[in-house]
Structure 1
């Protein structure tokens, strides 16, 4: 049995924040509201900012006058399934491998994704940045997750779409693959060759 670590964003689910945030813009929004919100999301995803605090701050920048529930609804609807990696996850699970979600995410997105997308049923565990208190590519993300889930890097295969995360994974001894949806066959070849 091997362990496979799957990033979520642009590996299992494509995403685009811009339409969601644009839908929340009021007439007196700050000119750089979208840029500021995206820049600060790392702190949110690292669990350093509470959800209600982040929503209030972002709503003020956007001049969004709706409810917290309306903000969350827009914030959640940024994803598009990547069916080819779903198929791979199902196949690996059927072969008896352990699958772990390995994602920088936040307290709004993670529960929504787990409830909404059937592919997540195939995963045994999840390492979410906001729960672990660190984001990729920080060392703490990898080290804390290795300890929590008894991950042996030598027997673990890690799939992510960001080069800096892959480099950190290599540094910590993981077998890594830099994923791009348009080169999905490369991922299949990598899995088959190991």
Structure 2
């Protein structure tokens, strides 16, 4: 029987528009995603650098773009957060121990809270026993330590814990650690379909 559920955030609750971020950065002159930008992103998601350092790192590749434009382009990936998903969470929050584990950064979370409003964000966060953002805990998926951090902090039994994420590399590591997993297919499945899946609730 599943007692606890650990959810991802992006493309599980909030929709991500990956085409938009690509389009917006191309407008600023970025023709390709460089390896050093990937490394920069990971450092920011791990809370190792602040927002100014992150945006300035981007600016090296976009000398004609100002920091505000870069920030706007970076946030363009954030789509809508359908209300029915929040209502689904609220419905199950009294029945299961719920946790959020997201690879994200301060900029995106600030934008989400501003875009959806503080009341919506507060209602969302209150559904969880604990919310874990990578930039705050200095750990990110698919590192085993990120999963162990949540499991150990709350004495979770992996066999009775379900992990839901849209990225295969994340669910593979979680499964290796003994958790039950749902690798959600974006566009084909929705988190609210959870109880139609073959898990023992």
Shorter-normalised TM-score: what interval? 0.7 to 0.9
**After TM superposition, which residue ranges in structure 1, 4 or more long, deviate above 4 angstroms?**
24-27, 35-38
Native 8 Å contact 1:158 1:169 kept in 2: yes
Q: Confirm whether residue 183 of structure 1 aligns to residue 189 of structure 2.
A: yes
Q: Confirm whether residue 171 of structure 1 aligns to residue 199 of structure 2.
A: no
Q: State how 1:40-79 maps to structure 2 within 5 Å.
A: 40=39, 41-67=41-67, 69-79=68-78
Native 8 Å contact 2:103 2:141 kept in 1: yes
Three-state SS of the structure 1 residue aligned to 2:79 is: strand
Unaligned 5+ segments in structure 1 are: none
After alignment, is 141-150 or 130-139 more displaced? 141-150
After alignment, is 40-49 or 172-181 more displaced? 40-49
Q: How far does residue 160 in structure 1 lie from its aligned partner after superposition?
A: 0.5
Q: 1:139 aligns with which of 125, 138, 144?
A: 144
Aligned length: 190
Taking only aligned residues, the RMSD between alpha carbons, in angstroms, comes to 2.9
Q: How far does residue 81 in structure 1 lie from its aligned partner after superposition?
A: 3.2
Three-state SS of the structure 2 residue aligned to 1:78 is: coil
Q: Confirm whether residue 120 of structure 1 aligns to residue 124 of structure 2.
A: yes
Three-state SS of the structure 2 residue aligned to 1:102 is: strand
